């Protein structure tokens, strides 16, 4: 198995079919094997049914993990990563805001020796074909400013949901994470740095989905709380023992 694709999903019945069709159509033309792992975070709609129907109709095995309660995107990705079998592990959003074809930009770097290669919306060669509303963009910039000041510098976009890892690297990182919801990306990248892994940020295409499940007030507040938790954990040395390389 060369590539594992982990997709966290919550109430994605309107997106997941198109996503699976696009991923399989693209990867079936590649010369490497792949697996798809869907982690359903206690959806209240027909997300699982849509995935199962697609899998059966197209004779494509898809692993489905079901959270009994809503734990959050971070924990869902973690569960999928720890189950993965591919040489490389990609996690991507269920709405494919970054098209699956963009993996062709990431794979060359990981094959050159990088351990973690992340899609970015903030580089000169990034292409925002459908932008977020101005208030979401500005809140994202404020969040990244907090990341730069409190946690780590040098990564322009920690939150793009398109990240590729070597399998053993991904499992080492995710086995140590503590954050369950949307700020998990920051913790993942911080742990990667603490472990001495090489990180590459690559500009990708981005098409904002207006079907976003992020609540602009409630989830933004949660993200800030999680960010300060990461800051405190780092301050008191909870990540210190990870500095092994």
Q: What is the dihedral sign for C-alpha 101, 102, 103, 107? A: positive
DSSP-assigned beta bridge partners for residue 36: 5, 62
What pLDDT shows up at residue 210?
A: 64
Helix segments in 84-217, DSSP class H: 103-111, 134-146, 167-174, 184-194
**Distance, CA of 80 to CA of 72 (rounded, Å):** 13
pLDDT at 245: 45
Whether 83 shows a pLDDT value over 80: the answer reads yes
pLDDT(209) > 80: no
Mean pLDDT value of segment 231-242: 86
Query: Which tokens in the block code for residue 214?
Result: 């992020």
What is the share, in percent, of the chain residues with pLDDT greater than 90? 84
Look at 221 and 198; give whichever has higher pLDDT. 198
The domain limits of the chain are 3-242
Position 132 scores a pLDDT of 75
Cα distance between the two ends of the chain: 27
Provide the CATH number for the domain formed by 3-242 in this structure.
3.90.550.10
pLDDT over threshold 70, residue 101 = yes
Report whether pLDDT(30) > 50.
yes
Total-model pTM: 0.93
Mean pLDDT of 69-89: 97
Structure tokens at 139: 């809140």
pLDDT exceeds cutoff 50 at 42: yes
Q: Which helix H or strand E contains 217, and what residues bound it?
A: none
Could you count the other beta carbons within 10 Å of the beta carbon of residue 10?
Answer: 20
| pLDDT for the residue numbered 214 | 66
**Residues pairing with 64 in the sheet:** 38
């Amino acid at each position: 198995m060369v590539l594992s694709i982990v997709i966290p999903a919550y109430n994605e019945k309107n997106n997941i079919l198109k996503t699976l069709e696009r991923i399989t159509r693209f990867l079936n033309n590649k010369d490497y094997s792949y697996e798809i792992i869907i982690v359903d975070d206690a959806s209240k709609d027909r997300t699982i049914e849509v995935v199962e129907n697609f899998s059966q109709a197209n004779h494509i095995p898809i692993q489905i993990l079901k959270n009994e309660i809503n734990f959050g995107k971070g924990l869902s990705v973690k569960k999928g990563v720890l189950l993965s079998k591919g040489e490389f592990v990609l996690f991507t959003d269920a709405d494919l805001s970054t098209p699956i074809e963009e993996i062709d930009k990431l794979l060359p770097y990981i094959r050159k020796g990088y351990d973690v290669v992340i899609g970015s919306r903030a580089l000169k060669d990034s292409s925002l074909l459908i932008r977020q509303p101005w208030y979401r963009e500005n809140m994202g910039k404020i969040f990244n400013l907090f990341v730069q000041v409190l946690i780590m510098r040098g990564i322009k976009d920690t939150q793009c949901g398109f990240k590729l890892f070597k399998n053993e690297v991904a499992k080492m990182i995710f086995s140590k994470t503590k954050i369950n919801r949307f700020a998990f990306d920051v913790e993942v990248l911080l742990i990667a740095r603490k472990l001495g892994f090489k990180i590459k940020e690559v500009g990708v295409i981005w098409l904002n989905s207006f079907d976003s499940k992020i609540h602009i007030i409630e989830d933004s507040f949660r993200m800030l709380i999680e960010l300060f938790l990461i800051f405190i954990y780092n301050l008191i040395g909870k990540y210190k023992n990870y500095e092994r390389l």
